[in-house]
Structure 1
Amino acid sequence: MIKVSIIVPIYNTDPNLLIRCVTSIVNQTLEEIEIILIDDCSTTDIGKTITDLTKRYRNRIRSYYSPKNLHQGGARNIGIHMSQGEYIAFVDSDDFVEPNMYELLYKKAIFNGEKADVVECDFITVKQSQLLPIDRMKDISANGTLDISGKKEVIAKSNSTVCTKLFRSSFIKDNDIYFPEGIYYEDHLFVLKVNTLLASYQTIRKGLYYYCQDSSGSTTRTTNLKSCEDRNTIMDELHKWSSMETMTDYKEETEFYIIRCSYRGGIEWLVQNAGWRGYWEMLKLRRLFLKMYPNYRKNQYYIVRFSHEKRWEQGLFDCSVFGYLIYKRIIQHFIQSLDKHKTPNLYTF
């Protein structure tokens, strides 16, 4: 029996990074896994590397070559349909994982025979050869079968990425939960749907997934017009889902999810990756969000979980994008001056 199907969407990935990624999965301590490599109509010769890996590990790897570029969401959907495992996982092709990641997640998933719909762990950011542990699971106490309050906690506090999670295959397929295709940030909508529909949930408070920010070809690190436009598209889709009648019990939680993942997250991404070039996109993002959620500052999660500094910054952005960019530029200059005298990070590899 296959316990976990691990789906890896690939588009023009550096061959060395893909080999590192696949090797980390092949070497998992959990043996009953299958690896599904989906080439999303790459324009480079990465297909040769995929073929070589599939032949080398023919008992563990299956591959599919999409004739059309569907973006990560479409590639992941193909993998879901191909999957035969009891659980499904996703790994980005330029990242890698701990050798025991899926053994730990799977054991947690079937603990006491409950078979959780979702199990989630923390991740470690890899940036300029430094390892930066992220501790985002410490605030989540919900586990096992969830009541309404437990589900509210998961919606409001859970990580918005799919790569740190294990999903029960029948839960995903029976509820018809798939990724939007042809757009970026597809995982935001997928995770919101999952979190509002799941019935049982578990966590592992340990970083098992390595999220690599130095890969220039990665979707989340690439700035282009479409990626900017898709932020507004996905925000609109999130709003539609959260506005459904069945979401009434989770109105404040879904609103906060959109605040932190789509609005605040979108602002930070645009500042970091586009700067002044993203000025007009920031204006569009602000206009759309404030039209949907004009009273978002009254959200109790926003008040409690956002620091006074972050709320002040957000207020500045809402009043003046221009002023906000000037402020962030001053802060960046100050931090750079401090970094010249900073002790090197001890987490290196």
Structure 2
Amino acid sequence: MQKFKVSIIIPVYNTEIYLRRCLNSCINQTLDEIEIIVINDASPDKSYIIMQEYEIKYPEKVKCIYLQDSVCPGGARNFGLQTMQGEYFYFLDSDDYMEANLCECMYKKAVELNSDMVFCDHYAEMADKTVSKIINFSQEKMRKEYLQLLILDASPCGKLFHHELLKRHNIYYPENMFYEDTATTPVWTIMAQSYAKVNNALWTYSWCGSSITRSKASQSNDLQRIKAVEIFYNNCSKVKINDKFKCEIEIYALSRIIDSIISIARKFDYLECASIFKIKNAIIKLAPEYKTNPLLTYVFFPYERRILNDIMEEKLKETILSDEFNHKYVHNKTDEIELYFEEHKDYIKNMMVAFKEKGYDEITLWGMGVIGKALYYSITSLGFKLVAVDNSSKVYNIKLMDGNIIQYAQNQKGKNKVILITNQRYYDHVNTHSAGAKIIDVMSCLKLKQNIKSILEE
């Protein structure tokens, strides 16, 4: 029997100005049986003074650990995992904060459905202090088919894990490295036998504090993501899930490899030959037969697949200027997205037919950015009609190539039965203005190859 229902684990590094807000949000939780474990990762600021204050004021709830040498967030979290006494554990970054009912809502959901993992929606606080709600999935009942999207989100934040996941398999974070989330959190996600979701935003991610850095930028730091992927793969082997989830594991590894390449090209003037060589070796080791993976064309845009192919075929093997790399692979985004929808036009056609069979004659597409416009033209080229809407004054009232006008979203309130979106972030805003409408995230449906008819029946 565990002493607490939930252990909140908070690594602290250089977040003195946000720490009180974070700790207050934990202290004010409506669930009483919690412990708050705060680990000072040799932070150079005065965070330790704030920690001491809370430790003295709330001795029954707050436990502080002070490290003399930094072990990075992964190592700090490990100290929390090794000392926690909770039935479930939850990670919170020290510049983020919780709603007062987070622990209560997530714990109740976990117990009610006997779930290994519970997650929720969240708010994003931008540098200008504006806050927007981020919806992860609209469906409450989680199924294994969501796995590939779940593991693509490597962050441990916003997720409540059962301590048995840790006890059964003894998987901890790597220490003294960047991108430690990549190596561990997805393994717990795959190992979870059951998922649940609370359909409320219960914590806030702060972009204000996310710029805090620990060291000078270098390509070797970015390539630590590759090292983290290799540790992830080894962890999957350790718990014997490589064969059962081969496709998902490969896709996850490749997604992080692509992230590394594009990140380097954005941050530095050139992509080093040594970096390309290391990336190629990682692909050979982790996903040598990636071209046969059935999820490949659904999860990755064509330009991302070309990057992988050109590295493997040694068309991209020498040091290359970032401007040249971006021009060749990234900057033609509109064409690449149009090609992506062309590859999946049969799925899109079947989706629209399913809507018609259900009696949904007027379909609305919300959001007319680059992806939205590409999807609009893909659907209308198949002979189906759409109402295009957007909430931005820079976009609505613009005439499309087929002569239709992009409508102002506010004027469509209550008129829509089915609304298509291309970004999960639109969900809350769309739902506010179109309560009762069936909202379909087309990009998620494509990546999951979901059966639209089953979604319409939910």
**CA 1:252/1:228 → structure 2, altered by over 3 Å: closer, same or farther?**
same
Counterpart of 2:103, as a letter, is: Y
1:121 alignment counterpart: 120
Aligned-residue offset at 1:280 = 5.7
C-alpha separation between the residues in 1 aligned to 2:38 and 2:195?
27
Where 1:8 maps in the other structure, the secondary structure is: strand
Q: Which amino acid aligns with 2:193?
A: A
Does the C-alpha gap of structure 1 residues 268 and 91 become closer, same or farther in structure 2, counting only changes over 3 Å?
A: farther
Shift of 1:316: 4.7
Which residue matches 1:99?
A: 100
Q: Where has structure 1 moved over 6 Å in runs of 4 or more?
A: none
Distance 1:139 1:287, change over 3 A: farther
Q: Per the alignment, in what secondary structure is the counterpart of residue 180 of structure 1?
A: coil
Partner of 2:54: 53
What corresponds to 1:137 in structure 2? 137
1:231 pairs, out of 225, 230, 236, with: 225
- Counterpart of 1:254 (choices 245, 249, 254) is 249
The structure-2 alpha-carbon separation of the partners of 1:11 and 1:220, relative to structure 1 and needing over 3 Å to count, comes to closer
Name the CA distance, whole Å, in 1 between partners of 2:273 and 2:201: 36
Equivalence map 1:90-239=2 (5 Å): 90-112=91-113, 114=114, 116-129=115-128, 130-138=130-138, 141-143=141-143, 150=144, 153-158=146-151, 159-215=153-209, 217-218=211-212, 223-224=217-218, 227-239=221-233
Task: Report the alpha carbon displacement of residue 155 of structure 1 after superposing the two structures with TM.
Answer: 4.7
- Please state which structure has a larger fraction of its residues in helix: 1
1:327-342 matches, within 5 Å, as 342=394
Distance (Å, rounded) in 2 between the aligned partners of 1:220 and 1:119 = 31
- How far apart are 1:67 and its partner, in Å? 2.3
Residue of structure 2 in register with 1:12 after alignment:
14
The change in CA–CA distance for 1:289 and 1:279 in structure 2 (over 3 A counts) is same
1:276 matched residue in structure 2: 269
SS in 2 for 1:211: strand
Q: Are the aligned partners of 1:179 and 1:189 in contact in 2 as well (CA < 8 Å)?
A: yes
Deviations 1:109-145 (A, max 9, x none): 0015x2x2111123333222333433332478535xx
- 3-state SS of 1:137 partner: coil
Q: Which moved more, 1:242-251 or 1:67-76?
A: 242-251
For residues 110 and 29 of structure 1, the distance between their equivalents in structure 2, rounded to whole angstroms, comes to 16
| Structure 1 residue 162: Cα displacement | 0.6
Secondary structure of 1:94's counterpart equals coil
The whole-number CA distance in structure 1 between the counterparts of 2:244 and 2:186 is 14
The equivalent residue for 1:3 is: 5
Displacement of 1:97: 1.9
Q: Which residue of 2 aligns with 1:73?
A: 74
Displacement of 1:324: 3.5
Distance (Å, rounded) in 2 between the aligned partners of 1:68 and 1:137: 39
Work out whether residues 21 and 97 of structure 1, in 8 Å CA contact, stay in contact via their aligned partners in 2: yes
Greater RCO structure (CA 8 Å; 6+ sep): 1
CA contact (8 A) 2:30 2:100 kept: yes
Q: Do the aligned residues in 2 keep the contact of 1:316 with 1:324 (CA within 8 Å)?
A: no
Assess, with a 3 A threshold, how the Cα gap between structure 1 residues 281 and 177 changes in structure 2: closer, same or farther: same
Partners of 1:56 and 1:330 lie apart in 2 by 54
Q: How far did 1:38 drift?
A: 0.4
Q: Please report how far the alpha carbon of residue 169 of structure 1 lies from its aligned counterpart in structure 2 after TM superposition.
A: 1.6
What's the counterpart of residue 147 of structure 1? none
Please report how far the alpha carbon of residue 167 of structure 1 lies from its aligned counterpart in structure 2 after TM superposition: 1.0
CA contact (8 A) 1:189 1:237 kept: yes
Alpha-carbon displacement from aligned partner over 1:24-63 (angstroms, at most 9, x marks no partner): 2212222221111101112232211211222233332110
Q: Which whole-Å deviations, capped at 9, do the CAs of 1:276-329 have from their partners, x for residues lacking one?
A: 3665676356423432324424422232234xxx22344257535654423688
Aligned twin of 2:284: 291
Distance 1:167 1:214, change over 3 A: same
Further displaced range: 123-132 or 249-258: 123-132
Instruction: Write out per-residue CA displacement over residues 73-102 of structure 1, whole angstroms, 9 at most, x where no aligned residue.
Output: 111111111111111110111111222221
Letter in 2 for 1:118: M
- Mapped to 2, the partners of 1:139 and 1:296 lie a distance apart of 30
State the number of aligned residues: 325
1:311 maps to which residue? 302
SS at match of 2:326: helix
Q: Which residue of 1 aligns with 2:355?
A: none
Moved more, 182-191 or 52-61: 52-61
**What is the TM-score of this pair, normalised by structure 1?**
0.80
Q: Aligned-residue CA RMSD in angstroms?
A: 3.3
Are the counterparts in 1 of residues 140 and 196 from structure 2 also a CA contact under 8 Å? Answer: no
State the AA in 1 paired with 2:247.
E
Q: Which moved more, 1:288-297 or 1:216-225?
A: 216-225
Within 1, Cα distance between the matches of 2:214 and 2:251?
22
Question: Percent sequence identity over matched residues?
Answer: 26
**1:240 and 2:239 correspond:** no
Structure 2: 5+ residue runs without aligned partners?
Answer: 311-315, 334-368, 370-391, 396-424, 429-458
Contact 1:156 1:254 (8 Å CA) reproduced: no
Could you tell me which amino acid in structure 1 is paired with residue 133 of structure 2? P
Q: 1:265 to 1:120 in 2, by over 3 A?
A: farther
Q: State the one-letter code of the partner of 1:135.
A: I
5+ long unaligned stretches in structure 1: 144-149
- 19-28 vs 130-139, which moves further: 130-139
- CA radius of gyration, larger in: 2
Amino acid at match of 1:136: N
Instruction: In structure 1, give the amino acid aligned to 2:258.
Output: R
Change (3 A) 1:279 1:94: farther
Equivalent of 1:301, from 295, 298, 301? 295
In the alignment, the residues of structure 2 paired with residue 278 and residue 52 of structure 1 have an alpha-carbon distance, to the nearest angstrom, of 47
